[in-house]
Amino acid sequence: MPRLLALTAATLAAGTALAIPPPPTPTATELAQRGDDIAWSITEGLTTEIGPRMAGTEAEAAARRWALARLKALGFQNVREEEFRMQTWVRGEESAALTGPFQPQALHIAALGNSASTGPKGIEGEIAYFASYDALVAAPDASVKGKIVFIDHQMQPAQDGSGYSYYGRGRFTGPNVAAKKGAIATVIRSIGTDDHRGAHAGGTNFEAGVKPIPAGALSNPDADQLVRQWQRTRQMRTKETALGYTPEPLRMNLVLTPRNLGQRASGNIIAEVPGSDPAASPVIIACHLDSWDLGTGAIDDASGCGIIAAAAKHVMTAGQPRRTIRILWAGAEEVGVFGGKAYFDAHGKERHAVALESDFGADRVWRVDFKLPDSAKPVADRIAAAVMPFGVVRGRQPASGGADIGALVQAGVPAIDLQQDGTRYFDLHHTPDDTLDKVDPVQLRQNVVVWTATLAILADSSDAELP
Ligand code: ZN
Ligand code: ZN
């Protein structure tokens, strides 16, 4: 046998005897990068089989049953429901029309959560226009009393969604301010950046002792129509126009008949990847299972539940992590963060290493923000390096957490925000357009990869780094 061939044969024989080393076990991130349909199938399944999931309703209960079955099927441990009770509000009939001085015209409106009812016959009133929430706050009571307050503003899209808290005040507390000044109802321009005729739902809140009034949101084009008519009535009051109308104030008819169903059951769904070190504090990752009722809650927040479960699954598949990963699919977030409060009441005294939430759609993660103790600087450095290849920059501002982990973060639990691109989020948020077709599978997958990379580092962080 020629020498070279003999050597090759010997090498081959040795290779067979010693076994060629197996390829290295893939990391969790590599598993996520291979692609999977976990996040997509959860988003598709929840929106297809359940659809809208208003807190406290039978649909939300069906979503919890669905969630328990799905999380068990994925192989998670300690999968359970933690029930709580909450005040349940449901939508009724809703219509609005501008009734004068021009030709009557119907408008597209959605009642805001916690709105009072106008009664089935509705109410009619003069519109008191305010260019902003701040203008309403500054207005004397006499300019509002007995009228239907309209709050205008022009929310603009922003990648970080930063307009929401500023413009959102018109919805969060505008009706409360108007009620205290004696208004009979409040109508706002939707807190949204689209030009569709679907109104943006969302909750409003009345202080204890303030009698709730009917409150609704108009779609942006309908708000534009109201504003044009209001401007024209102002011009008419200063000069006669060729239209021949008498200069009267702008009036609206409003029918909103939501109902309070009293205390109903909701619940949090919890699942875990048990860690190898039972003494180590868990990493908690959250989303919310409930949704508003106009769309099917695809981007808010079925996709968030899909993203976090997929990431936990990849970490679990890659090998048991040191810390337990606790998945929280919270109930009743939209109508007042009842699930987050219930979780905190039940578990707030337990140690948590760090908390994260996915509740800003399904578009790509572009920035990571940290709010960690000094001891965790190496953790932040490792995460920033791990997510950088996927197009994620390190932010300079502290993480704030999400609604459902808000109480934990307030109580001092460290937080990390994987900030998603929110440029189109408020086109869809709480509207009939929040449906599965708006979820981009490519961007959804990027979320899963970034979450997996982050979670793998957190779950194996040391006790010296995180509490
Ligand atoms: Zn949400
Ligand atoms: Zn929402």
Q: What is the CATH number of the domain that holds 322?
A: 3.40.630.10
pLDDT tens-digit map of 119-152? 999 999 999 999 999 999 999 999 999 999 999 9
pLDDT computed for residue 413 by the predictor: 98
Residues 334 and 214 reside in one and the same domain: no
Report residue 21's pLDDT band, with 50, 70 and 90 as the boundaries. confident
What's the per-residue H, E or C state across the chain?
CCHHHHHHHHHHHHHHHHCCCCCCCCCHHHHHHCCCCHHHHHHHHHHHHHCCCCCCCHHHHHHHHHHHHHHHHCCCEEEEEEEEEEEEEECCCEEEEEEECCCCEEECEEECECCCCCCCCCEEEEEEEECCHHHHHHCCHHHCCCCEEEECCCCCCCCCCCHHHHHHHHHHCHHHHHHHCCCCEEEEECCCCCCCCCCCCCECCCCCCCCCCCEEEECHHHHHHHHHHHHHHHHHHHCCCCCCCCCCCCEEEEEECCEEEEEEEEEEEEEEECCCCCCCCCEEEEEECCCCCCCCCHHHHHHHHHHHHHHHHHHHHHCCCCCCEEEEEECCCCCCCHHHHHHHHHHCCCCCCEEEECCCCCCCEEEEEEECCHHHHHHHHHHHHHHHHHCCEECCCCCCCCCCCHHHHHCCCCEEEEEECCCCHHHHCCCCCCCHHHCCHHHHHHHHHHHHHHHHHHHCCCCCCCC
Given a cut of 90, whether residue 13 has pLDDT beyond it is no
Q: What CATH number is attached to the domain comprising 186? A: 3.50.30.30
Which ligand is closest to the CA of 301, given by its number? 1
pLDDT computed for residue 240 by the predictor: 56
Residues 72 and 221 reside in one and the same domain: no
Given a cut of 90, whether residue 381 has pLDDT beyond it is yes
Residues 158 and 285 reside in one and the same domain: no
Residues 60 and 114 reside in one and the same domain: no
Which ligand is closest to the CA of 201, given by its number? 2
pLDDT tens-digit map of 178-188? 999 999 999 99
User: Ligand 2 centroid to 201 CA: how many Å?
Assistant: 9
Residues 73 and 193 reside in one and the same domain: no
Domain range enclosing 182: 94-257
User: Ligand 1 centroid to 307 CA: how many Å?
Assistant: 14
Looking at the 3D structure of the chain, how many domains does it have?
A: 2
User: Ligand 2 centroid to 292 CA: how many Å?
Assistant: 7
Report residue 239's pLDDT band, with 50, 70 and 90 as the boundaries. low
User: Ligand 2 centroid to 358 CA: how many Å?
Assistant: 12
User: Ligand 1 centroid to 117 CA: how many Å?
Assistant: 25
pLDDT computed for residue 7 by the predictor: 46
The better pLDDT of the pair 244, 304 is held by: 304
Tell me, yes or no, whether 225 lies in a domain.
yes
pLDDT tens-digit map of 247-305? 689 999 999 999 999 999 999 999 999 999 999 999 999 999 999 999 999 999 999 99
Residues 122 and 98 reside in one and the same domain: yes
Report residue 36's pLDDT band, with 50, 70 and 90 as the boundaries. confident
Residues 436 and 407 reside in one and the same domain: yes
Residues 274 and 394 reside in one and the same domain: yes
User: Ligand 1 centroid to 359 CA: how many Å?
Assistant: 5
User: Average pLDDT over the chain, rounded to whole?
Assistant: 94
User: Ligand 1 centroid to 456 CA: how many Å?
Assistant: 25
pLDDT computed for residue 241 by the predictor: 54
pLDDT computed for residue 19 by the predictor: 78
pLDDT tens-digit map of 290-344? 999 999 999 999 999 999 999 999 999 999 999 999 999 999 999 999 999 999 9
- What is the value of pTM for the model shown? 0.93
Residues 228 and 112 reside in one and the same domain: yes
Residues 141 and 71 reside in one and the same domain: no
Residues with CB under 5 A from ligand 1 (ion): 300-301, 359
Tell me, yes or no, whether 20 lies in a domain.
no
User: Ligand 2 centroid to 386 CA: how many Å?
Assistant: 30
Tell me the average pLDDT across 16-38. Answer: 85
User: Ligand 1 centroid to 434 CA: how many Å?
Assistant: 11
Report residue 244's pLDDT band, with 50, 70 and 90 as the boundaries. low
The better pLDDT of the pair 20, 457 is held by: 457
Which ligand is closest to the CA of 360, given by its number? 1
Residues 136 and 50 reside in one and the same domain: no
User: Ligand 1 centroid to 288 CA: how many Å?
Assistant: 6
pLDDT computed for residue 408 by the predictor: 98
Given a cut of 60, whether residue 165 has pLDDT beyond it is yes
User: Ligand 2 centroid to 333 CA: how many Å?
Assistant: 8
